Structure 1
Amino acid sequence: MKDCDLQQLVSDISERVFQKPFRHQAYFNKRLRTTGGRYLLQSHNIEINPKAYEKYGLKEVEGIIRHELCHYHLHLEGKGYQHRDTDFRILLKKTNAPRFCSNLDQGNRRRRSLKQYTYVCVNCGTIYQRKIRLNTARYCCSKCLGKLKIKK
């Protein structure tokens, strides 16, 4: 599916479901990571994550479009367009739009290692667990002010 096909699909859904025209741009944005789509308040454009189409198909994208069109039409009418607003929730139910999109798992993102560092006081033997490594020359035991040693 290309951007021109997406534009036509958004216009069709807007006319069919909302009985209102969609007068702005709709396009794919491959920089979106965790969200299925986004309504832009300044330009009134709608961006759709292409991974939602690749992973789940046209039915998922139609749900995302309905959700974003709820934001779009309510914002242009001056009503509550945010997720917490009653107008938005009512329109979601009325148009059978999903509140959330399906999981777009980003398994390739870098994650911080869950390495644990254990330090022991040389004097009193108090044990400290830390996620971040610390400089033992700079820090000391909080109980007896003794030197810390990393435990292996």
Structure 2
Amino acid sequence: MEQRNLQQLVQQLSIEAFGKPFIHEARFNPRLRTTGGRYKLSDGSIEINPAVVELYDMEELVGIIKHELCHYHLHQEGKGYRHGDVDFKKLLRETGSPRYCKPLGKPSSKPKKIHLYQCKSCGLEYRRKRRMDVRKYRCGKCAGEIVLIQA
């Protein structure tokens, strides 16, 4: 999908779902990473993550555009356009727009590494996400020496 096709789609959805024209710019922004789209208050434009087009179907793209159009029209009218505002939630329901988009990032398949330490004296175990220098630290319970058990 090209920039002009996106602009036409946003304008068409604005008329169909909201009965109001979209007079600003709609564009793809490849710098968006975790969100499907955003409405920019400063210039009234809507930016869409191109990954949505690649990863999902047209229905997801339409949902994201309608969500951003809710922000757009409410802000243009001076009403509550933020996610927590009553006006915004009401307009989402009325237009059938989703509150959230599907995840865009790669799911973390790598389990988090846990480092296991143990006190030589009392046997107290310490689980840490980060490695620690055992020469600098002592057991908090008995002040014994700490050793690495499992990295």
Q: Does the alignment pair 1:79 with 2:98?
A: no
Q: CA deviation at 1:110?
A: 9.0
1:37-76 paired onto structure 2 within 5 Å: 37-76=37-76
Q: CA deviation at 1:102?
A: 2.7
Give the whole-Å Cα distance in 2 for the aligned partners of 1:3 and 1:85: 31
1:1-152 paired onto structure 2 within 5 Å: 1-107=1-107, 114-152=112-150
Give the whole-Å Cα distance in 2 for the aligned partners of 1:120 and 1:56: 48
Give me the identity figure in percent: 50
Gaps of at least 5 residues in structure 2 are none
Scaled by the length of structure 1, the TM-score of the pair is 0.87
Q: Give CA deviations for 1:68-102 in whole Å, capped at 9, x if unaligned.
A: 11100101111011111111111112212122223
Q: Secondary structure at the match of 1:72?
A: helix
AA of the residue aligned to 1:29: N
Q: CA deviation at 1:105?
A: 4.3
**Structure 1: which 4+ aligned runs deviate by more than 3 Å?**
none
Scaled by the length of structure 2, the TM-score of the pair is 0.88
Indicate how the Cα distance of structure 1 residues 141 and 76 shifts in structure 2: closer, same or farther if over 3 A, else same.
same
Gaps of at least 5 residues in structure 1 are none
Q: Secondary structure at the match of 1:80?
A: coil
Q: Secondary structure at the match of 1:118?
A: strand
Q: Secondary structure at the match of 1:38?
A: strand
AA of the residue aligned to 1:135: D
Q: Secondary structure at the match of 1:63?
A: helix
AA of the residue aligned to 1:122: K
